[in-house]
Structure 1
Amino acid sequence: MTFRVLTAEFITENNTFKKGFTELHDFQVDTLAEGDEAITMRGEANTELAGFLDAATDRGWEMTHVISALASPNAPVSSEAYDLVTGKICDAIRARRGQIDGILLGLHGAQVAEDHEDGEGELLRRIRAIVGPDLPIAATLDLHANATEAMAQQAQIWVTYKTYPHIDLRISGKRAGLLLDDAMAGRTKPTTIRRHVPMMDEANAGRSDVGPMVLEYEKARKEETEQGILSVSLNSGFSDADIAEMGPAVYVTYDRGVAGADKRAAEIADAHARAIWDARYSCANTFLEVADAVAQAKGFDASKGPLVIADYADNPGSGAYGDATNLLKAMLDAKLTDAVFAPMIDPEAAIELHKHKEGDTVTIAIGGKNDPAFGGGPLTLTGRIEKLSDGFFRGDGPMLGGLDRTYGTTAVLKVDGVEILIVTEREQMLDRQQLYAFGIDPTKRKVLALKSMQHFRAAFEPIAGKVIVCDSGALSTPKMARRPYKRVKRPIWPLDEATTF
């Protein structure tokens, strides 16, 4: 029997403390493509869609891909953008009602829309209203999901990445597809249980390279080989989204047709949830103040590779503005040389620099224009324009290999010994091509200040002499009490030290 499967991707992560909304333009900059166009763009890269296609090929499906809509982490999704994407997905399902055997979705898990704090849960509610309660639905999640109870109830099968940096997107997509195939064929009767942990984030944000989650991921992989246990998903949470069900949650998808699987699934979920809670004081990062980070840079011996300073708090990948200036100012004040600061997301400055030509010396205000209270205000700097570009680059590293991206209007301004990558569109540092494409060889610089929390490690840690992590005081500061939480259920750790589990 040839199964007919409908697929879609709707992936974005939303910071509720950020001003404005994620609009259609933000999806168009990253990915907003339907059908074959989306497959052409994403079907041969490290993407969920590529994994869906792998499963379809293996199992001989008739697969219909509706849409791929992805936007860099930002403010909540506007009603216009949310309704357009969900509308296309639901319209396609409605048009094929009774003619499809399953649905396979690439989701994030920390999507917040203008009118719906659980963006994925609302999408699934709309889908269920069309197809009824029994049609098999499988979905993938980013491990930084605030995985809600509604999500667990509305789809039978969940597969969350097990790597951070995320290098297993395609693997996760295929796994979800194969589990869906088993359900459509009647070989399994999947359902998912959830255990929530009253924390804002897992202590290391789900890192798979160090810390206690390394062992938990290994356990989860072994548990997935047990009879009746189909998937064990460890979701680390996303504290930049102030929603009621924020925080780490464990999903265990099991086969109701296997005797005792329900009991074993509960044991697995409880054990992982307890492990996450018990490790709440185990943060592996040392968050350096700006002055301490720059002091290390000042005397750093780069003979074995550059010093990488991760600007953790201004990570565009968690929805921060990406225009904080505290770290840059300290680097300039310290007169660092052979240093890079990337990126500075400042469309106004990028456009102004494009009014000049490469080689010109200009004086311009950059950064700090969104919320100077988080990370510092604008800096008026004089420098030489090293590069002007349309911002296009093609990733070739572990995360972005084969994917085309754009920073939009882009310039490199060299101020004293620091090259500043000034861009228009949002993107954290994921790939070395984000520097090479604009004339910067990261292997030949002494200091690389990169706006990213963890994903930078996949491409840049192999060339680094040392990596340090800096809290520049920007919107995604690890000092969570600085953010005005209103919706999250209390008590919750670490806002409430007396929280129990």
Structure 2
Amino acid sequence: MTFRVLTAEFVHETNTFSVRKTDYDAFAVEGIRFGEDAVRVRGEANTEIAGFLDIGRKYHWTIQHVVSAGAEPAGPVTRDAFDRIGGAIVQAAKDRKGDLDGIMLGLHGAMVTDFSPDGEGELLERLRAVVGPDLPIAVTLDPHANVTAKMCQHADILISFKTYPHIDMRDTARHAGELLQRTMAGEIDPKTFLVRRPMLEEANAGRTDIGPMVGWIAEARAYETMPGALAVSINGAFPYADISEVGATVLVTYDGDCASHQAFAESIATKIWDDRFNVLNTFHTVEAAAEIARAYNDDRPLIIADYADNPGAGAYGDATNLLEALLDAGVHDACFGPIVDPETALQLHRSAVGETVQLALGGKTDARFGGGPLKVAAKLVHISDGKLIGDGPMMGGLELNFGPTAVIQIEGIAILVVTEPSQMYDLQQFRAFGIDPASHRVVGLKSMQHFRAAFEPIAGKVIVCDSGALCTMDYARMPYGNVPRPIFPLDRDMII
């Protein structure tokens, strides 16, 4: 039998503290692609739609792909954007009601809208209202999902990626597709439950390259071979969402009796809680990071990652504290990026390559978080439309777009100035603009963890710092008002 499956990707990780709302135009920056256009661009990369299509070919499904849309993390998604993109998915399901055997969705799990704290739950609820309670729905999630009860209520299958950096998005989609195939064939009747602990996030943001998560993921994979255990997902959560259902969760998608799997989920959740003080990273001050960079001497570069100004978590990407510290320390033979500053990018595009330009660089969104504008004289080295194609483990083959982009030289540092925010997770984000990070002694970049997949192989050493930008690790600085209290680490002495 040939099954008929509706697919879509609709992804946003919402930083509720950001002043920048995520409207329809914000999704358009990365591309709102419908139908075959989405398949053409994303269908052979490390994406969920690629995994959906792999399973569709294997089992000869008839697939209708509705839309692929994602925006860089920022403030709440507007009702207009949600209704236009999510509405297209719901309308397609409505139009084919009675003619579908299943639905597969690539979501994130941490979307907040300006009218709902639970964007994914809202979308799934609207779909259920259209297709009824029996049509199976499978969902892939980012492991930084803040999974809600409503998501579990309305989706039969929920599976999160098991790697951070996320190099298994396609594989996870295949896993979800296999389970959907078995569901549509009547072999299983899956459901998903969650276990939560009162913490904003797992102690190490869910990183899977080192630390205790390595063992927990191994336990999850082993448990998935047990009878009735279809998928186990461990979600480190996204702490910059001021919502009631924030925090680390363990999900089990199962067939049969839920009770038999509850103990395993609780055991992993307890390990996450018990490990809450075990932070692996040393978060250097910008001054300390700059001093390490000044003294660094190795054949391969020192990578300095500013966790706090990571656009991939909704930070503005225009913090200047780290760059200022590097300049003050006289660091040379270095590159740095990105500084998200549309105003300066436009100014540079009106200048001539080789010209020395007086700039007020960065720090224009909110100087309280990461520093204000730097008044500098910079030599313009390169200008570009900002378009590139990634070639790394995460983004290989995918189109990226920084918008109008320039490279400037200030003393010993080459600096990438861009219009559109994006964290650094692919070497082409430097190389496409004439900067080879492997040839520099020091590389400063804005990212939390995803940079490691592409940049660790060229690095002699990696350090991280907290510049005090919007994604600071000092959560006490953030004006939480909706998270349940007590919650760790806002209430560090709490017990459960």
Q: TM-score of the superposition, structure 1-length normalised? A: 0.98
**Over residues 347-396 of structure 1, what are the superposed CA-to-partner deviations in whole Å (9 max), with x where a residue is unaligned?**
01000100011111111111100110010000111011110000011000
Aligned equivalent of 1:141 = 141
Matches within 5 A, 1:74-223: 74-223=74-223
CA distance in 2, matches of 1:265, 1:31: 40
Matches within 5 A, 1:6-405: 6-256=6-256, 261-303=257-299, 305-405=300-400
CA distance in 2, matches of 1:135, 1:273: 30
CA distance in 2, matches of 1:409, 1:264: 55
CA RMSD of aligned residues (A): 0.8
1:41 Cα deviation (Å)?
Answer: 0.7
CA distance in 1, matches of 2:261, 2:45: 33
SS in 1 for 2:424: coil
Gaps in structure 2 of 5+ consecutive residues: none
SS in 2 for 1:171: helix
**Over residues 143-171 of structure 1, what are the superposed CA-to-partner deviations in whole Å (9 max), with x where a residue is unaligned?**
00001111111101011000000000000
CA distance in 2, matches of 1:225, 1:357: 62
CA distance in 1, matches of 2:59, 2:31: 27
**Over residues 419-456 of structure 1, what are the superposed CA-to-partner deviations in whole Å (9 max), with x where a residue is unaligned?**
11000011100100000000001111011011001000
**Over residues 77-108 of structure 1, what are the superposed CA-to-partner deviations in whole Å (9 max), with x where a residue is unaligned?**
11111110111001000000010010000000
Gaps in structure 1 of 5+ consecutive residues: none
CA distance in 2, matches of 1:265, 1:85: 36
CA distance in 2, matches of 1:338, 1:393: 24
1:267 Cα deviation (Å)?
Answer: 1.4
SS in 2 for 1:265: helix
Alignment partner of 1:472 is 2:452: no
Which residue of the other structure, out of 431, 438, 442, is the alignment partner of 1:443?
Answer: 438
Aligned residues: 496
Amino acid at match of 1:487: N
CA distance in 1, matches of 2:269, 2:495: 13
Q: TM-score of the superposition, structure 2-length normalised? A: 0.99
CA distance in 2, matches of 1:263, 1:313: 40
1:497 Cα deviation (Å)?
Answer: 2.0
**Over residues 298-355 of structure 1, what are the superposed CA-to-partner deviations in whole Å (9 max), with x where a residue is unaligned?**
010131x100000010000000000000001011111111111100000010001000
SS in 1 for 2:258: helix
CA distance in 2, matches of 1:272, 1:62: 38
Amino acid at match of 1:412: V
1:407 Cα deviation (Å)?
Answer: 0.3
CA distance in 1, matches of 2:261, 2:317: 41
**Over residues 394-415 of structure 1, what are the superposed CA-to-partner deviations in whole Å (9 max), with x where a residue is unaligned?**
0000000000111000000100
Q: Runs of 4 or more off by more than 4 Å in structure 1? A: none
1:263 Cα deviation (Å)?
Answer: 2.4
CA distance in 2, matches of 1:264, 1:233: 17
SS in 1 for 2:32: strand
Amino acid at match of 2:78: S
CA distance in 1, matches of 2:459, 2:73: 26
SS in 2 for 1:183: helix
CA distance in 2, matches of 1:23, 1:411: 26
1:210 Cα deviation (Å)?
Answer: 1.1
SS in 2 for 1:302: coil
Give the percent of matched residue pairs that are identical in Structure 1 and Structure 2: 54
CA distance in 2, matches of 1:20, 1:442: 30
1:20 Cα deviation (Å)?
Answer: 2.5
Amino acid at match of 2:381: E
Aligned equivalent of 2:428 = 433
